[in-house]
Amino acid sequence: MRLTRRAALALGATTLTMPALAQAPAPIRLGLLRTASPAPLYIAQERGWFREAGVEVQFRFFDAAQPIAAAAVSGDTDMGITALTGGFFALAGRGELVVIGGGLHEQRGLKLTAVLVSKKAYDAGLTSLDKLGGKSFGITQYGSSFHYMAGRLAETQNFDLKSLTLRPLQTVQNMVAAVRTGQVDATMAIASMATPAAASGEAVIIGWVGDHVPYQITALFASKAMVGNRADDLRKFATAYRRGITSYREAFLRLDASGTPQYGPATDAAIADITKYVFVGDPAAGDKIKAGLGWYDEGGALNVADVRNQLTWFSAQGMVKGEVDAGAIIDTRFLPTR
């Protein structure tokens, strides 16, 4: 059977096109919480910087930190950004996950996470952090970042963590509600949630975590397969992520001599990007985002020493079995370190 000239040309074009299609990189599926904390990623996505870098990124939203880590292990996602938990370190210790960069930091002087106590407990004498010993304390779950922060506060304020009655309440919303109604004596919440509770008169802010326990609260991580098979795509991702952080810092972290943020047009532009994902349609969105500002180091730098400290703490609590080499679960090829 002879091919016509037109058919031959069409067949040739198809043959040339098929390899190109086959080589198109798969999207990077990123697990995250639908909160304002991963704001630099929202900015980078909305401004098309991932596409410019040569990768497509798809956000997959979750309701808690632990499922984000589990999804990367199961192959449902490729990467995640969230708090480092006991569960995360247990999975990373099995070789399933690798920390590749920094996220949000608790930083002295920035009011990110408040320690919130019920009005009843405050009136009964719970007026400072060193008086938390012996009280009930709401957390999301054992092994969470809230559990870690409670433990570190116990160290800095010289009370025994075991004296706290920890109440796992699953969500931050439940934690705040429990304090407001007096079901627990104390809890923690980001400023955008803690401040309204305090303003209602049902709760009192007695301190800020960052002033006592500055630490790497969230980090960027990838699955073992992603690091092993798609390192070039991770570098492209990191390029866009750094651009998002630069814009975030310009919008929210320009501080004057007294440490007060200085806002301007860059702030308004960033808020417009962020509110595509959180506080959608909320007329008070801008104020809520500003009220819960967190610190990102330039370039997405990771505080390696603090990640090691967190691993040590969770291991000491029996939440990570066996010896885990911190060097084996941290890869510094993609983003800078502090």
Using an 8 Å Cβ cutoff, are 141 and 302 in contact? Answer: no
Q: What is the pLDDT of residues 228-266, one digit of tens each?
A: 999 999 999 999 999 999 999 999 999 898 888 899 999
Q: What is the pLDDT of residues 196-210, one digit of tens each?
A: 999 999 999 999 999
How far is the C-alpha of 138 from the C-alpha of 150, rounded, in Å? 10
Q: What is the pLDDT of residues 163-212, one digit of tens each?
A: 999 999 998 899 999 999 999 999 999 888 899 999 999 999 999 999 99
CATH class of 28-107+216-328: alpha beta
Taking residues 331-335, report their average pLDDT. 97
Q: Which long-range contacts (CB under 8 A, 24 or more apart) does 260-265 make?
A: 261/290, 261/293, 263/290
CA 103 to chain centre: 6
Taking residues 333-338, report their average pLDDT. 95
pLDDT beyond 60 at 17 = no
Phi-psi category of 334—alpha, beta or left, where left has phi over 0 and alpha has psi -120 to 50?
alpha
Positions of CATH 3.40.190.10 in the chain: 28-107+216-328, 113-213
> Mean pLDDT of all residues in the chain?
92
pLDDT computed for residue 267 by the predictor? 97
Helix segments in the chain, DSSP class H: 5-22, 39-46, 49-53, 65-74, 86-93, 119-123, 145-157, 172-180, 191-199, 209-212, 224-229, 231-252, 265-274, 285-291, 304-316
Contacts of 294 (CB under 8 A, 6+ apart): 37, 104, 105, 106, 107, 110, 112, 217
pLDDT computed for residue 1 by the predictor? 46
Q: What is the pLDDT of residues 119-142, one digit of tens each?
A: 999 999 999 999 999 999 999 999
How far is the C-alpha of 261 from the C-alpha of 147, rounded, in Å? 30
In CATH terms, the superfamily for domain 113-213 is Periplasmic binding protein-like II (3.40.190.10)
CA 159 to chain centre: 28
Q: pLDDT confidence of 20, banded at 50, 70, 90?
A: very low
What is the dihedral sign for C-alpha 327, 330, 331, 336? negative
